[in-house]
């Protein structure tokens, strides 16, 4: 929060996606030098693209926060800050979902390969 007198609108950021511990543990069992085969689905590629685009979008929003804040537009800065938090969480979720999908795909291929 930038200023206690100017509260951002209460729009909670999405909860962050957590990669299942069991998946990470299985992934860590693969030797680091072992090649992995990872078939990608369109959804996997979508997570990658959306994660990157949302991360870039959140950077632009953070820039808007700083410009508004430095120009004394605290209400606008706080609104942008709330939007930045949502965009940033969305970007992180896409990247985390991509990582989980890549791990699961590599593990499936390793079992069947």
Range of the domain at 72: 40-112
**Residue 89 forms part of a structural domain:** yes
Evaluate whether residue 70 is within a structural domain: yes
Structural domain contains residue 68: yes
Assigned domain for 63 exists: yes
In a domain, 3, yes or no: no
- Overall number of domains in the chain: 1
**For each of the chain's 113 residues, which pLDDT tens digit applies?**
454 455 555 667 889 999 999 999 999 999 999 999 999 999 999 999 999 999 999 999 999 999 999 999 999 999 999 999 999 999 999 999 999 999 999 999 998 86
In a domain, 8, yes or no: no
In a domain, 6, yes or no: no
Instruction: Confirm if 71 and 27 have CB atoms less than 8 A apart.
Output: no
> Does some domain include residue 7?
no
pLDDT value of position 43? 96
| Three-state SS letters, the chain | CCECCECCCCCCCCCCCCCCHHHHHHHHCCCCCCCCCCCCCHHHHHHHHHHHHHHHHHHHHHHHHHHHHHCCCHHHHHHHHHHHHHHHHHHHHHHHHHHHHHHHHHHHHHHHC
Do the beta carbons of residue 4 and residue 78 sit within 8 Å? no
User: With a threshold of 0.85, does the pTM exceed it?
Assistant: no
């Amino acid at each position: 929060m930038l200023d206690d007198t100017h509260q951002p609108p209460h729009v909670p950021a999405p909860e962050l996606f957590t990669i299942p511990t069991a998946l990470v543990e299985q992934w860590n069992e693969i030797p680091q030098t072992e090649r992995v085969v990872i078939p990608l689905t369109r959804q996997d590629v979508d997570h990658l693209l959306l994660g990157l685009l949302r991360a870039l979008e959140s950077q632009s929003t953070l820039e808007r926060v700083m410009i508004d804040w430095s120009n004394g537009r605290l209400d606008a800065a706080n609104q942008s800050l709330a939007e930045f938090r949502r965009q940033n969480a969305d970007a992180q979720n896409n990247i985390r979902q991509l990582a989980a999908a890549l791990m699961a795909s590599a593990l499936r291929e390793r079992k069947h390969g």
